Amino acid sequence: MGVRAKMKTAWLMLIICTLGVFAEGELPLLLPAPARPGELPKCPVQITNEGALQLGRVYDRSRHEIRVQFRHAGEGAILFRVARSTCPCIAVLEAPMNLNLFPGDTFSLRLQLDASALTPGPFTRHVIVDFGNCESLRFAVYGECVQPVQVSPGTEMDLGSFEGVDVMWKRHFELTTTALAGDAVSFVAPEASERFEFELKPLAHGRHELAIRPRLPLPLGEFHERVSVAVKGLENYSDLQLLLHGHVRGRALVVKNPLLEFTRAEIAGGGAQQRELAIIRVAAEGAQGRGRRRLMPARRQGNGQQVTVDEQQAGTKAIFAKLAEELRWQPATGITVEMQAEDLQLRLRLSLSSEFLQHKPLPTLKLFRGDELLGDIELVVK
Protein backbone atom coordinates (compact mmCIF):
# COMPACT_ATOMS: atom_id res chain seq x y z
CA MET A 1 0.00 0.00 0.00
CA GLY A 2 1.43 3.36 -0.97
CA VAL A 3 1.90 6.38 1.37
CA ARG A 4 -1.05 8.25 -0.17
CA ALA A 5 -3.33 5.25 0.36
CA LYS A 6 -2.26 4.91 4.00
CA MET A 7 -3.11 8.59 4.71
CA LYS A 8 -6.58 8.16 3.18
CA THR A 9 -7.18 5.12 5.40
CA ALA A 10 -6.16 7.04 8.56
CA TRP A 11 -8.50 9.91 7.78
CA LEU A 12 -11.35 7.47 7.12
CA MET A 13 -10.83 5.76 10.50
CA LEU A 14 -10.85 9.15 12.27
CA ILE A 15 -14.17 10.11 10.64
CA ILE A 16 -15.75 6.76 11.59
CA CYS A 17 -14.65 7.15 15.26
CA THR A 18 -16.03 10.65 15.40
CA LEU A 19 -19.40 9.57 13.98
CA GLY A 20 -19.49 6.76 16.56
CA VAL A 21 -19.06 9.26 19.38
CA PHE A 22 -21.95 11.39 18.09
CA ALA A 23 -24.12 8.28 17.79
CA GLU A 24 -23.62 7.50 21.48
CA GLY A 25 -24.82 11.01 22.47
CA GLU A 26 -21.47 12.36 23.80
CA LEU A 27 -20.02 15.62 22.60
CA PRO A 28 -16.32 15.68 21.90
CA LEU A 29 -14.21 18.31 23.66
CA LEU A 30 -13.80 20.94 20.97
CA LEU A 31 -10.83 23.12 21.74
CA PRO A 32 -10.49 26.53 20.15
CA ALA A 33 -8.05 26.95 17.35
CA PRO A 34 -4.49 27.42 18.53
CA ALA A 35 -3.69 31.05 19.18
CA ARG A 36 -0.78 32.74 17.57
CA PRO A 37 2.31 33.02 19.78
CA GLY A 38 1.68 35.46 22.66
CA GLU A 39 -2.10 35.60 22.05
CA LEU A 40 -5.13 33.82 23.55
CA PRO A 41 -8.79 33.97 22.58
CA LYS A 42 -10.95 36.48 24.42
CA CYS A 43 -12.50 35.11 27.61
CA PRO A 44 -16.18 34.16 27.05
CA VAL A 45 -17.03 34.19 30.78
CA GLN A 46 -19.40 36.90 32.05
CA ILE A 47 -20.31 38.05 35.58
CA THR A 48 -24.03 37.68 36.11
CA ASN A 49 -24.37 39.66 39.38
CA GLU A 50 -22.34 42.82 38.82
CA GLY A 51 -24.08 44.48 41.76
CA ALA A 52 -22.24 42.22 44.22
CA LEU A 53 -18.99 43.98 43.30
CA GLN A 54 -20.19 47.39 44.52
CA LEU A 55 -19.86 47.18 48.30
CA GLY A 56 -20.81 50.77 49.09
CA ARG A 57 -19.57 52.15 52.39
CA VAL A 58 -17.77 49.64 54.61
CA TYR A 59 -16.24 50.15 58.04
CA ASP A 60 -12.52 49.78 58.52
CA ARG A 61 -11.59 46.60 60.44
CA SER A 62 -14.79 44.92 59.19
CA ARG A 63 -15.01 41.75 57.07
CA HIS A 64 -17.40 41.20 54.17
CA GLU A 65 -18.06 38.07 52.12
CA ILE A 66 -18.70 38.50 48.41
CA ARG A 67 -20.31 35.82 46.20
CA VAL A 68 -19.59 36.44 42.50
CA GLN A 69 -21.56 34.44 39.91
CA PHE A 70 -20.17 33.64 36.43
CA ARG A 71 -21.56 32.12 33.20
CA HIS A 72 -19.79 30.70 30.17
CA ALA A 73 -21.45 32.80 27.44
CA GLY A 74 -19.29 31.75 24.51
CA GLU A 75 -18.56 28.68 22.45
CA GLY A 76 -16.33 25.72 23.04
CA ALA A 77 -14.92 24.36 26.27
CA ILE A 78 -12.57 26.33 28.51
CA LEU A 79 -10.57 25.25 31.52
CA PHE A 80 -10.84 27.19 34.81
CA ARG A 81 -7.47 27.18 36.56
CA VAL A 82 -7.22 29.61 39.48
CA ALA A 83 -8.62 32.84 40.98
CA ARG A 84 -6.24 35.29 42.62
CA SER A 85 -6.40 38.74 44.17
CA THR A 86 -4.00 41.59 43.52
CA CYS A 87 -4.47 42.86 47.10
CA PRO A 88 -3.99 41.07 50.44
CA CYS A 89 -7.25 42.70 51.55
CA ILE A 90 -9.23 40.19 49.43
CA ALA A 91 -8.99 36.46 50.09
CA VAL A 92 -10.40 33.76 47.81
CA LEU A 93 -12.33 31.48 50.17
CA GLU A 94 -13.93 29.14 47.61
CA ALA A 95 -13.21 28.54 43.92
CA PRO A 96 -13.40 25.63 41.44
CA MET A 97 -10.31 23.53 40.86
CA ASN A 98 -9.29 22.78 37.23
CA LEU A 99 -12.90 22.84 36.11
CA ASN A 100 -13.90 22.24 32.46
CA LEU A 101 -16.59 24.74 31.50
CA PHE A 102 -18.91 24.25 28.53
CA PRO A 103 -21.23 26.85 26.97
CA GLY A 104 -23.98 27.81 29.42
CA ASP A 105 -22.14 26.43 32.48
CA THR A 106 -22.05 28.56 35.63
CA PHE A 107 -19.73 28.74 38.60
CA SER A 108 -19.10 31.09 41.53
CA LEU A 109 -16.31 32.51 43.68
CA ARG A 110 -16.58 33.24 47.38
CA LEU A 111 -14.36 36.14 48.37
CA GLN A 112 -13.75 37.95 51.65
CA LEU A 113 -12.78 41.59 52.01
CA ASP A 114 -10.76 42.49 55.10
CA ALA A 115 -11.21 46.25 55.42
CA SER A 116 -8.49 46.51 58.07
CA ALA A 117 -6.00 46.43 55.18
CA LEU A 118 -7.62 49.47 53.54
CA THR A 119 -7.01 53.16 54.08
CA PRO A 120 -10.04 55.40 54.62
CA GLY A 121 -11.59 56.63 51.38
CA PRO A 122 -12.76 55.17 48.05
CA PHE A 123 -11.08 51.93 47.00
CA THR A 124 -10.86 49.68 43.94
CA ARG A 125 -9.34 46.22 44.31
CA HIS A 126 -8.97 43.67 41.52
CA VAL A 127 -9.40 39.90 41.25
CA ILE A 128 -8.02 37.88 38.32
CA VAL A 129 -9.42 34.55 37.11
CA ASP A 130 -7.00 32.52 35.00
CA PHE A 131 -8.15 29.99 32.37
CA GLY A 132 -6.13 27.38 30.56
CA ASN A 133 -7.08 28.26 27.00
CA CYS A 134 -8.37 31.83 26.91
CA GLU A 135 -7.51 35.25 28.26
CA SER A 136 -7.69 35.88 32.00
CA LEU A 137 -10.76 37.64 33.33
CA ARG A 138 -10.06 40.69 35.49
CA PHE A 139 -12.78 42.38 37.55
CA ALA A 140 -12.87 44.99 40.31
CA VAL A 141 -14.46 45.28 43.75
CA TYR A 142 -15.49 48.85 44.59
CA GLY A 143 -16.43 50.71 47.72
CA GLU A 144 -15.56 53.35 50.27
CA CYS A 145 -13.80 52.62 53.53
CA VAL A 146 -15.01 54.75 56.43
CA GLN A 147 -13.85 54.99 60.05
CA PRO A 148 -16.63 54.78 62.63
CA VAL A 149 -14.09 55.26 65.44
CA GLN A 150 -11.28 57.82 65.51
CA VAL A 151 -8.55 57.58 68.13
CA SER A 152 -6.62 60.54 69.51
CA PRO A 153 -3.65 61.02 69.79
CA GLY A 154 -3.35 57.80 67.72
CA THR A 155 -3.55 54.06 68.18
CA GLU A 156 0.04 53.87 69.51
CA MET A 157 1.41 55.64 72.57
CA ASP A 158 5.08 55.82 73.51
CA LEU A 159 5.45 56.35 77.26
CA GLY A 160 9.22 56.73 77.05
CA SER A 161 11.80 55.55 79.56
CA PHE A 162 10.76 56.09 83.18
CA GLU A 163 11.21 54.81 86.73
CA GLY A 164 7.77 53.27 87.22
CA VAL A 165 8.15 52.96 90.98
CA ASP A 166 5.98 55.22 93.10
CA VAL A 167 4.82 58.27 91.11
CA MET A 168 1.22 57.73 90.00
CA TRP A 169 0.35 59.11 86.57
CA LYS A 170 -2.46 58.89 84.02
CA ARG A 171 -2.58 58.85 80.24
CA HIS A 172 -5.64 58.53 78.04
CA PHE A 173 -6.88 57.78 74.56
CA GLU A 174 -9.92 59.66 73.30
CA LEU A 175 -12.34 57.61 71.17
CA THR A 176 -14.74 59.52 68.91
CA THR A 177 -17.58 57.71 67.11
CA THR A 178 -18.96 58.77 63.73
CA ALA A 179 -21.05 55.73 62.86
CA LEU A 180 -23.34 55.49 59.89
CA ALA A 181 -27.05 56.15 60.31
CA GLY A 182 -28.81 53.47 62.29
CA ASP A 183 -25.73 52.18 64.10
CA ALA A 184 -25.25 52.79 67.83
CA VAL A 185 -21.62 52.26 68.80
CA SER A 186 -20.44 51.47 72.32
CA PHE A 187 -17.24 50.18 73.90
CA VAL A 188 -16.25 47.70 76.57
CA ALA A 189 -13.34 48.68 78.80
CA PRO A 190 -10.41 46.23 78.70
CA GLU A 191 -9.60 44.23 81.81
CA ALA A 192 -6.59 45.17 83.89
CA SER A 193 -3.27 43.70 82.80
CA GLU A 194 -0.09 42.99 84.70
CA ARG A 195 1.08 46.56 84.19
CA PHE A 196 -1.99 48.76 83.77
CA GLU A 197 -5.55 49.43 84.87
CA PHE A 198 -8.12 50.94 82.51
CA GLU A 199 -11.16 53.13 83.03
CA LEU A 200 -13.62 54.01 80.28
CA LYS A 201 -16.00 56.94 80.69
CA PRO A 202 -18.31 58.68 78.20
CA LEU A 203 -17.83 62.32 77.25
CA ALA A 204 -20.03 64.66 75.23
CA HIS A 205 -20.66 64.48 71.46
CA GLY A 206 -19.96 60.79 70.93
CA ARG A 207 -16.60 60.83 72.65
CA HIS A 208 -15.17 58.42 75.23
CA GLU A 209 -12.04 58.59 77.33
CA LEU A 210 -9.99 55.48 78.03
CA ALA A 211 -7.79 56.31 81.02
CA ILE A 212 -4.63 54.30 81.70
CA ARG A 213 -2.98 54.09 85.12
CA PRO A 214 0.03 52.01 86.16
CA ARG A 215 -0.04 49.22 88.72
CA LEU A 216 3.02 50.37 90.64
CA PRO A 217 5.72 49.28 90.87
CA LEU A 218 5.90 48.22 87.25
CA PRO A 219 8.01 45.25 86.10
CA LEU A 220 11.42 46.36 84.87
CA GLY A 221 12.34 46.29 81.22
CA GLU A 222 10.99 47.21 77.81
CA PHE A 223 7.35 46.51 77.06
CA HIS A 224 5.04 46.52 74.03
CA GLU A 225 1.54 45.99 75.32
CA ARG A 226 -1.53 45.49 73.14
CA VAL A 227 -4.81 46.79 74.58
CA SER A 228 -8.02 45.43 73.02
CA VAL A 229 -11.18 47.53 73.30
CA ALA A 230 -14.31 45.65 72.27
CA VAL A 231 -16.57 47.63 69.92
CA LYS A 232 -20.30 46.89 70.15
CA GLY A 233 -23.05 47.76 67.68
CA LEU A 234 -21.16 47.17 64.41
CA GLU A 235 -21.57 43.88 62.57
CA ASN A 236 -18.40 41.95 61.69
CA TYR A 237 -16.27 44.65 63.30
CA SER A 238 -13.08 43.61 65.07
CA ASP A 239 -11.86 44.95 68.42
CA LEU A 240 -10.00 48.23 68.52
CA GLN A 241 -6.28 47.53 69.04
CA LEU A 242 -4.23 50.10 70.95
CA LEU A 243 -0.50 49.79 71.59
CA LEU A 244 1.55 51.01 74.56
CA HIS A 245 5.33 51.14 74.35
CA GLY A 246 7.91 52.08 76.95
CA HIS A 247 10.84 51.09 79.09
CA VAL A 248 10.67 50.80 82.89
CA ARG A 249 14.18 51.34 84.20
CA GLY A 250 13.28 51.21 87.89
CA ARG A 251 15.04 53.22 90.55
CA ALA A 252 17.75 52.48 93.07
CA LEU A 253 18.65 54.36 96.24
CA VAL A 254 22.32 54.48 97.13
CA VAL A 255 24.49 56.13 99.78
CA LYS A 256 26.35 58.97 98.14
CA ASN A 257 29.38 59.10 100.50
CA PRO A 258 29.70 55.76 102.32
CA LEU A 259 33.18 56.43 103.80
CA LEU A 260 33.44 58.44 107.06
CA GLU A 261 36.92 59.39 108.27
CA PHE A 262 38.02 60.40 111.80
CA THR A 263 41.37 61.54 113.12
CA ARG A 264 42.94 59.98 116.17
CA ALA A 265 42.88 63.42 117.83
CA GLU A 266 39.11 63.65 117.38
CA ILE A 267 38.54 60.30 119.01
CA ALA A 268 41.07 60.90 121.80
CA GLY A 269 39.41 64.20 122.67
CA GLY A 270 36.17 62.47 123.63
CA GLY A 271 32.73 63.77 122.88
CA ALA A 272 30.42 62.99 120.02
CA GLN A 273 31.43 63.42 116.40
CA GLN A 274 29.11 64.60 113.63
CA ARG A 275 29.22 63.55 109.99
CA GLU A 276 26.87 63.91 107.03
CA LEU A 277 25.64 61.38 104.54
CA ALA A 278 23.21 61.57 101.66
CA ILE A 279 20.95 59.06 99.91
CA ILE A 280 20.33 59.77 96.25
CA ARG A 281 18.35 58.18 93.42
CA VAL A 282 20.06 56.57 90.45
CA ALA A 283 18.76 54.78 87.40
CA ALA A 284 18.49 51.10 88.21
CA GLU A 285 20.78 50.00 85.40
CA GLY A 286 23.54 52.24 86.78
CA ALA A 287 23.12 51.31 90.41
CA GLN A 288 25.56 48.41 90.49
CA GLY A 289 29.31 48.69 90.71
CA ARG A 290 31.40 51.69 89.83
CA GLY A 291 30.29 54.55 87.70
CA ARG A 292 27.00 55.09 89.47
CA ARG A 293 25.18 57.95 87.89
CA ARG A 294 22.61 60.27 89.31
CA LEU A 295 19.20 60.35 87.78
CA MET A 296 19.27 63.32 85.43
CA PRO A 297 16.12 65.12 84.36
CA ALA A 298 14.86 63.80 81.03
CA ARG A 299 14.31 66.10 78.10
CA ARG A 300 10.65 67.08 77.89
CA GLN A 301 8.78 65.64 74.94
CA GLY A 302 6.48 67.72 72.81
CA ASN A 303 3.70 65.11 72.67
CA GLY A 304 3.24 65.08 76.45
CA GLN A 305 3.14 61.27 76.64
CA GLN A 306 6.53 60.77 78.30
CA VAL A 307 5.95 59.57 81.87
CA THR A 308 9.31 60.95 83.01
CA VAL A 309 7.76 64.43 82.83
CA ASP A 310 5.21 63.44 85.49
CA GLU A 311 7.92 61.90 87.66
CA GLN A 312 9.93 65.11 87.49
CA GLN A 313 6.94 67.32 88.22
CA ALA A 314 5.95 65.16 91.17
CA GLY A 315 9.28 66.01 92.79
CA THR A 316 11.26 63.69 95.05
CA LYS A 317 11.06 65.45 98.39
CA ALA A 318 7.97 63.48 99.37
CA ILE A 319 9.69 60.26 98.29
CA PHE A 320 12.71 61.00 100.48
CA ALA A 321 10.46 61.99 103.39
CA LYS A 322 8.76 58.61 103.14
CA LEU A 323 12.14 56.92 102.91
CA ALA A 324 13.25 58.59 106.15
CA GLU A 325 10.43 56.78 107.98
CA GLU A 326 11.54 53.40 106.65
CA LEU A 327 15.26 53.53 107.48
CA ARG A 328 16.96 51.56 110.25
CA TRP A 329 20.57 51.24 111.36
CA GLN A 330 22.70 48.38 112.53
CA PRO A 331 24.13 48.77 115.10
CA ALA A 332 21.58 51.23 116.41
CA THR A 333 23.06 52.11 119.83
CA GLY A 334 25.35 55.08 120.31
CA ILE A 335 24.10 56.78 117.14
CA THR A 336 21.55 59.52 116.64
CA VAL A 337 20.46 60.56 113.17
CA GLU A 338 18.77 63.74 111.98
CA MET A 339 17.18 63.36 108.54
CA GLN A 340 16.14 66.11 106.16
CA ALA A 341 14.29 65.37 102.92
CA GLU A 342 15.30 67.53 99.98
CA ASP A 343 14.32 67.54 96.31
CA LEU A 344 17.37 65.62 95.14
CA GLN A 345 18.47 63.70 98.22
CA LEU A 346 17.85 62.64 101.79
CA ARG A 347 20.43 64.36 103.98
CA LEU A 348 21.54 62.40 107.07
CA ARG A 349 23.38 64.10 109.96
CA LEU A 350 24.95 61.43 112.14
CA SER A 351 26.05 62.04 115.68
CA LEU A 352 28.27 59.22 117.00
CA SER A 353 28.76 59.12 120.78
CA SER A 354 32.21 58.92 122.36
CA GLU A 355 31.35 55.47 123.68
CA PHE A 356 30.58 54.28 120.15
CA LEU A 357 33.89 55.66 118.87
CA GLN A 358 35.83 53.64 121.47
CA HIS A 359 35.14 50.41 119.60
CA LYS A 360 38.29 48.93 118.12
CA PRO A 361 38.02 48.55 115.24
CA LEU A 362 35.11 50.83 114.50
CA PRO A 363 32.12 48.77 113.30
CA THR A 364 30.73 49.11 109.78
CA LEU A 365 27.32 50.77 109.80
CA LYS A 366 24.62 49.03 107.81
CA LEU A 367 21.72 51.09 106.50
CA PHE A 368 18.48 49.24 105.74
CA ARG A 369 15.19 50.16 104.13
CA GLY A 370 12.97 47.54 105.67
CA ASP A 371 14.80 44.32 104.87
CA GLU A 372 16.66 45.85 101.91
CA LEU A 373 20.30 46.80 102.51
CA LEU A 374 20.85 50.23 101.03
CA GLY A 375 24.55 50.40 101.82
CA ASP A 376 27.49 49.84 104.15
CA ILE A 377 29.07 52.89 105.76
CA GLU A 378 32.69 52.32 106.60
CA LEU A 379 34.27 54.22 109.54
CA VAL A 380 38.00 54.82 109.24
CA VAL A 381 40.46 56.29 111.75
CA LYS A 382 43.52 57.99 110.30
Q: Report residue 91's pLDDT band, with 50, 70 and 90 as the boundaries.
A: very high
Q: Where are the domains of the chain?
A: 45-146, 149-248, 251-287+311-381
Which among 89, 133, 93 has a CA at the least distance from the CA of 111? 93
pLDDT computed for residue 28 by the predictor: 38
Which among 70, 141, 67, 138 has a CA at the least distance from the CA of 99? 70
Range with the poorest average pLDDT among 36-40, 107-111, 208-212, 332-336: 36-40
Topology (CATH level 3) of domain 149-248: Immunoglobulin-like (2.60.40)
Domain 45-146 has CATH 1.20.1250.30: no
Kindly state the DSSP code that residue 50 receives in the 8-state scheme.
G
Please give the share of the chain, as a percent, with pLDDT higher than 70: 83
Higher pLDDT, 115 or 251: 115
What DSSP letter does each residue of 186-234 carry, written as one string?
EEEPPPP-SSEEEEEEE-STTEEEEEEEE-SSPPSEEEEEEEEEEEESS
pLDDT computed for residue 289 by the predictor: 40
Q: Report residue 4's pLDDT band, with 50, 70 and 90 as the boundaries.
A: low
Domain 251-287+311-381: give its CATH code: 2.60.40
Which among 311, 152, 158 has a CA at the least distance from the CA of 240? 152
pLDDT computed for residue 290 by the predictor: 39
- Cβ proximity of 345 and 326 under 8 Å: no
* pLDDT above 60: residue 223: yes
Using one digit for the tens of pLDDT, what is the confidence trace for 171-186? Answer: 999 999 876 666 778 8
Using one digit for the tens of pLDDT, what is the confidence trace for 143-180? Answer: 999 988 899 999 999 999 998 988 899 999 999 987 66
Distance from C-alpha of 34 to C-alpha of 39, rounded to nearest angstrom: 9
* pLDDT above 60: residue 370: yes
* pLDDT above 50: residue 300: no
- Cβ proximity of 279 and 253 under 8 Å: yes
pLDDT computed for residue 104 by the predictor: 96
* pLDDT above 60: residue 282: yes
Most confident of 86-90, 162-166, 175-179, 369-373: 86-90
Intrachain domains 45-146 and 149-248 with the same fold: yes
Three-state secondary-structure class, residue 180: coil
* Ramachandran angles phi, psi of 320, nearest 5°: -70, -35
pLDDT computed for residue 32 by the predictor: 40
**What's the mean pLDDT in 355-370?**
90
pLDDT computed for residue 309 by the predictor: 84
Using CA atoms of 324, 327, 328, 329 in order, give the dihedral in degrees to the nearest 10: -80
pLDDT computed for residue 279 by the predictor: 93
Higher pLDDT, 366 or 314: 366
* pLDDT above 60: residue 54: yes
pLDDT computed for residue 195 by the predictor: 97
* pLDDT above 60: residue 38: no
Please give the share of the chain, as a percent, with pLDDT higher than 90: 59
Higher pLDDT, 304 or 354: 354
